[in-house]
Structure 1
Amino acid sequence: MLALHEECLTRRYLLDRLTENYGFYIEYHPKPIKGDWNGSGMHANFSNGAMRDVGGKELFDNICEAFGKNIQKHMAVYGAHNEERLTGLHETQSIDQFSYGVSDRGASIRVPATVPTDGWVGRLEDRRPASNGDPYKIGAVIISTTKSAC
């Protein structure tokens, strides 16, 4: 299961179709206004059967470590100008670094607090995709990396 906020994707599609009828364009740039703020991201919540049904800290660590070994592969499809957003400030990790942690909103991958309390079953949240990323390419690379670790 990969959840890239499906309702947001539908809204994005409808908004694009509606605005093009009136000659408008929606800017999805992750940092459309420069300055000291966190920018706009598209977090990807994901899990597979092993994560939901079998679980275990070792499985979650293996998956996160696989993501850490593939930073460039992921950044290549996570959206243009993402380096302006992923600075290491404002609850983001630097674009060229990788970290993960339980309830760590500043990590590349956040392990929800419920995962360890539920016996290490559940999902992960990749906080790196930019608001202008292609959700299908993002989903494909997340699936590929997750499968390589399981």
Structure 2
Amino acid sequence: MNWSINWYDLFRGLHIVAVIAWMAGLLYLPRLFIYHIKHTDVTAVTDVFKVMERNLLRLIMNPAMIAVWIFGIALIVIHVRDLEGWKFFQEPWFIVKELGIVGITGYHHFLAVRFKKLQRGEPIGTESFWRKINEIPFVLAIIMVLAVTLQFGQN
């Protein structure tokens, strides 16, 4: 029995699991903001949302984002070292994926800043605003998944 580890497949699987956890948080935190904003006049309710938001961001979203980046970089290192070298960095699909990652990471930090403001009792926008903006990570995820699976523009 061969127990050697295929590090690329292991890291790819862990990367996917981390992406799922991160995306769940990115989609759920704005929903919590909506309910929090809706009930700003009821302290007992907003206190519960403050705890939920803090736990989601600090215990799920931040660690998942870090894991996505770590496993993603590990996949790149293995890919460069063992597979195709650096040439895939110039492929359109990879460029689209990296732009998407930068966009989603920026969105994550945008949410984190709004979280801190909301925790201090400062306004962060309307329910309508958060209902609209909530779709951003999902659209970026669709674009990135299609870019990676289709690998368009590959030479």
* TM-score when normalising by structure 1: 0.33
Q: Which has the higher helix share?
A: 2
Structure of higher CA gyration radius: 2
TM-score by length of 2: 0.32
Between Structure 1 and Structure 2, the one with more strand by share is 1
Structure with more contact order per residue of length (Cα contacts < 8 Å, sep ≥ 6): 2
